[in-house]
């Protein structure tokens, strides 16, 4: 591979990694931590599947208006409205 092409591939891969969905944004695979930004987990809700704060660790304090609940069909917990 040409050195300039290797650089472009690396920049593209880094851009994709930086574009992971954030809190409240849509994601694909419920209970997956791979689909969202660090510290978030994909959570199936009534109408959609979105990234929510991962609260498996008891030290995580969910934001006001949310509570740490299990994700249906999975082993993780997330801060859910």
Query: Residue 19: CB partners within 8 Å, gap ≥ 6?
Result: none
- Residue ranges of the domains in the chain? 3-80
| Chain segment 19-76, per-residue pLDDT in tens | 678 999 999 999 999 999 999 999 999 899 999 999 999 999 999 999 999 998 889 9
Name residue 49's beta-bridge partners.
Answer: 44
The pLDDT score that the predictor gives to residue 13 is 39
The pTM for the full model equals: 0.73
d(CA 73, CA 75): 7
């Amino acid at each position: 591979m040409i050195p300039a092409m290797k650089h472009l591939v690396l920049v593209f891969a880094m851009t994709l990694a930086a574009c992971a969905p954030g809190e409240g944004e849509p994601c694909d695979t419920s209970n997956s931590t791979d689909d969202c930004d660090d510290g978030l987990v994909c959570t199936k809700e009534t109408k959609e599947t979105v990234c929510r704060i991962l609260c498996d660790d008891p030290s995580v304090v969910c934001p006001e208006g949310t509570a740490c609940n299990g994700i249906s069909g999975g082993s993780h917990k997330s801060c859910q409205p």
